[in-house]
Chain A
Amino acid sequence: MPALVVENLHVHYGAIHAVRGVSFTVESGEIVSIVGSNGAGKSTIMWTLARVVPLTGGTILLEGAPLPDLPHLVVERGVALVPERRRLFSALSVRENLVMGAYNRKDPAGAARDMERCFTLFPILKQRLAQLAGTLSGGEQQMLAISRALMSSPRVLLLDEPSLGLAPMIVETLMETILKIRDEGMTVLLVEQNAAQALDISDRGYIMETGRIVKSGTGRELSDDPDIRRVYLGG
């Protein structure tokens, strides 16, 4: 059964029709990326999936059942969003950010295990536990944002522009980590402007332009497509 099925999704911001009939599927255990330029509506889709932005049409199925319509219920159903620009609780310590990630969990032992798993993925966080999240470097903040999302023990991870503002080398490590997380059984929906690196690790991808999906295929097909190479991959 697919982890996520989005059918004919429409989102309006007042008079602006930001997402115009988008449909896509994410199979369980896949990394699927949505690639497109600034303002294409990618982040809007992510916020809609998190139920922060209301949809104006269409359906979203999570593991075959309708997605609950309040953000805190979406988390309970196993979907976690790492938003664009990370949105950490900057005045809270690294540890408190992780504790917040596990807010709804009723298994403290499992939460403790997941915290250890985050330290395995990102060892630097363990040294930063008492530090305020706002004082971390950009790369460390992204690691914390992903860890915070993992702390809810999600089955579907929504990553919105994780590479934004990071040095190329850190982006590379980050992409490897996303692969590692997937290999541990996670389903990942990735939204990126950094098309080359996103398609590189994706099983499948969708290209978005002004609120519509204009092309889809496997990660390889899309990165080999001459049109896409010209527009998104710089030749």
Chain B
Amino acid sequence: MFLQTLVTGLSIGGIYALMAVGYSLVFSVLGFSNFAHGAVIMLGAYLGLALAVKLHLGIGLVLVGSIVGSGILAVMNERLAYSVLRRRKAPSLYLMISAMGCSVFLENLVYATIGSRFYAFPEFFSRQVVQFAGSSLSLLDLAAFIVAFLAILALHVFVTRTKTGIAIRAGVCDMTMCSLMGVNVDRLIMVVFLLAGAFAGVAGVFLGVKYLVYPTMGWVTNKAYIAAVIGGLGSLPGALVGGLILGVVETFVSTYVSSVMRDVFSFTLLIALLVWMPNGLFGSDTEEKV
């Protein structure tokens, strides 16, 4: 029971982490909370669903399709809604409001076109279980955790080992200086949204497979946002650890205390953490020397 709960928690946490990465990437580079991220995740789930149901693709190709589609969507989102504000050097609050507008717009677009029905993915592997140490673990849960972990590891390698990745981290420190190094800032921000969108695609498919696909499914990203804040908004290891902690704590509370108490616990955790560690677990506040 314990192991099973732990694996379920880790899989939910992994999905939170995937979503939190998208928040963290955009927040760290542009300094605003991109609340349209949930809507991109939702559209990624619909896209994955369409690929699975209409084209009968397997989970691998569904993931690839959703990654590509959501990546392009996120880039379009930035180009249409944020880039103009960015170039006018608008305060980040305006960007956040624009993001909220995008989120409401996209959700209602789905209501108006696809409708409010709840859709289920075809059974990929949700019924399959693996026996391990006397517990039966769901293959879906294991896959969600492993894919989330590998995706975040790959992103970590990208931002520490490649030139573009180092430029993203440099832009996080100081975007103006980054442009003075010869970096085309517009292109760099496009890469950031492409990455955030790709992660949204993976998260959307796993959310859809684990639960259901519906227009407001992106609201669960509120949890991912909490995960990102717990880990330290803007930190990659923080997004992973924050997501996993939140997922595990929630699952244990639902299993051993009461599922009604679950959200009370997550929000209490958030508030307590913000009181004691306002920068989150991995948040940094390095000051430059004068």
Contacts and interface: CB of A to CB of B under 8 A. Distances in A.
B170 A96 contact: yes
B290 A103 contact: no
A165 B182 contact: no
Contacts of A99: 163, 166
Contact of A138 (B179, B181, B289): B289
Interface string B265-290: 00000000000000000001011111
Contacts of A104: 181-182
A97 B167 CA distance: 10
A127 to B, nearest CB: 18
Interface of chain B: mostly helix, strand, loop or mixed: helix
A89 B180 CA distance: 12
A103 B181 contact: yes
B179 A101 contact: no
Interface in A23-43: none
A12 interface: no
Contact of B181 (A70, A134, A137, A152): A152
B166 A72 contact: no
B286 A87 contact: no
B179 A72 contact: yes
Contacts of B178: 89, 100
B86 interface: no
Contact of A83 (B170, B177, B286): B177
B169 interface: yes
A89 B176 CA distance: 11
B113 interface: no
Interface in A62-87: 70-72, 74-76, 80-81, 83, 85-87
Contact of B286 (A75, A80, A132): A132
Given A96-B170, A100-B170, A52 B182 contact: no
Contacts of B179: 52, 70-72
Interface in A106-128: none
Contacts of A74: 180
A101 B181 contact: yes
A81 B180 contact: yes
A134 B182 contact: no
Nearest to B284: A91
Interface in B137-191: 163, 166-167, 169-170, 172-174, 176-185
Given A89-B169, A91-B169, A96-B169, A103 B289 contact: no
Contact of B288 (A71, A88, A137): A88
A81 B290 CA distance: 18
Contacts of A101: 181
A50 B179 CA distance: 10
A141 interface: yes
B167 A103 contact: yes
B180 A91 contact: no
A56 interface: no
Contacts of B176: 52, 71, 87
A75 B288 contact: no
B29 to A, nearest CB: 13
Contacts of A85: 288, 290
| 10 pairs of A and B residues whose beta carbons are closest in the complex | A104-B182, A75-B182, A71-B179, A89-B173, A134-B286, A89-B170, A103-B181, A103-B182, A100-B181, A87-B177
7 contacts: A71-B180, A72-B181, A75-B182, A85-B290, A90-B173, A104-B181, A137-B289
Interface of B: 163, 166-167, 169-170, 172-174, 176-185, 284, 286-290
Given A87-B174, A91-B286, 4 more contacts: A83-B180, A91-B284, A104-B182, A141-B289
